[in-house]
């Protein structure tokens, strides 16, 4: 494989696969490196979550051309898919039924990216050297360019200031879940009847609060604590004028639950790292 036309793409999610489709269309050789066992590994972790944006905003036009050549039919353009639907009707066929199938390597977690033949202190000519991608237990790959589409799902934001953990966060890692667990499905047994604190005021937190309130209806012993920085922010409530209707509706639901007293809240000051 000649490195002068090889584009290494880290991550086989929607962005990585779209980047590979663009590279292929331009006569380049994409090599998609996915750490997980299948394409869309991160999306599969939130398969129960319905997206805010409809299909028409989630399908890359170049990827769609590849799919249509394989007989693919676009889902309802104005419907918002769940993560599982997004995988089943877009990512999975894109990765397995188009020419991209021969360019994806699963189980390849990139450990380091370097410039071939250059150590950290050598700079002359560095910008013209090929990239080397290194793995644990696998030979390196050489490429002319690297696109990092690995996303953030497996590198969650810690609770502390400056993007660092608060004291004790790492020690209590076994009791902390980042992201959006399936509270009404696979993760129900872990949370039903427990006291659960939700930290944050982003959309993942809002969605989790709504699901916890629903869980508490059937299991009244479930107690919810919503912890935010400096009080409950108005932005968490969204707006009926939101261009993404599903996103606007989410805020309205949590505002109603607060008004009904089904979600208590309290402020918190983010502790700086020790």
Between 233 and 165, residue with greater pLDDT: 165
Across the chain, what does the average pLDDT equal?
Answer: 90
Instruction: Tell me the per-residue pLDDT of 104-158, one tens digit each, with 9 for 90 and over.
Output: 999 999 999 999 888 877 888 888 899 999 998 889 999 999 999 999 999 888 8
Instruction: Tell me the per-residue pLDDT of 228-246, one tens digit each, with 9 for 90 and over.
Output: 876 666 666 766 667 777 8
* Cβ 12 vs Cβ 84: under 8 Å: no
Q: What is the pLDDT of residue 22?
A: 98
182-191: long-range pairs with CB below 8 Å, 24+: 182/47, 182/48, 183/208, 183/211, 183/212, 183/215, 184/48, 184/211, 184/214, 184/215, 185/48, 186/48, 188/215, 191/215, 191/222
Q: Is the pLDDT of residue 268 over 70?
A: no
| Longest CA span, the chain | 66
Stretch(es) of the chain classified as CATH 3.50.50.60: 3-148
Q: Which CATH class is domain 3-148?
A: alpha beta
């Amino acid at each position: 494989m000649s490195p002068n036309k090889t584009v290494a793409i880290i991550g086989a999610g929607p962005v990585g696969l779209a980047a590979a489709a663009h590279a292929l269309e331009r006569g380049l050789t994409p090599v998609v490196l996915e750490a997980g066992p299948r394409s869309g590994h991160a999306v599969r972790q939130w398969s129960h979550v319905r997206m805010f944006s409809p299909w028409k905003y989630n399908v890359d036009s170049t990827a769609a051309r590849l799919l249509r050549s394989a007989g693919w039919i676009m889902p309802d353009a104005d419907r918002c898919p769940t993560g599982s639907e997004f995988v089943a009707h877009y990512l999975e066929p894109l990765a397995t039924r188009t020419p991209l199938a021969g360019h994806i390597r699963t189980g390849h977690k990139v450990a380091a990216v370097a410039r071939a033949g250059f150590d950290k202190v050598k700079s002359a000519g560095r910008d013209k050297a090929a990239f080397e991608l290194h793995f644990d237990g696998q030979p390196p790959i050489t490429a002319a360019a690297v696109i990092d589409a690995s996303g953030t799902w497996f590198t969650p934001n810690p609770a502390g200031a400056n993007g660092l953990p608060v004291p004790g966060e790492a020690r209590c890692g076994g009791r902390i879940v980042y992201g959006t667990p399936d509270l009404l499905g696979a993760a129900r047994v872990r949370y039903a009847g427990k006291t659960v604190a939700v930290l944050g005021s982003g959309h993942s937190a809002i969605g989790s609060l709504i699901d916890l309130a629903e869980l508490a209806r059937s299991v009244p012993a479930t107690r919810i604590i919503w912890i935010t920085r400096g009080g409950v922010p108005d932005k968490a409530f969204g707006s009926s004028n939101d261009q993404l209707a599903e996103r606007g509706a989410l805020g309205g639901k949590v505002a109603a639950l607060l008004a009904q007293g089904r979600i208590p809240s309290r402020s918190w000051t983010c502790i700086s790292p020790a």
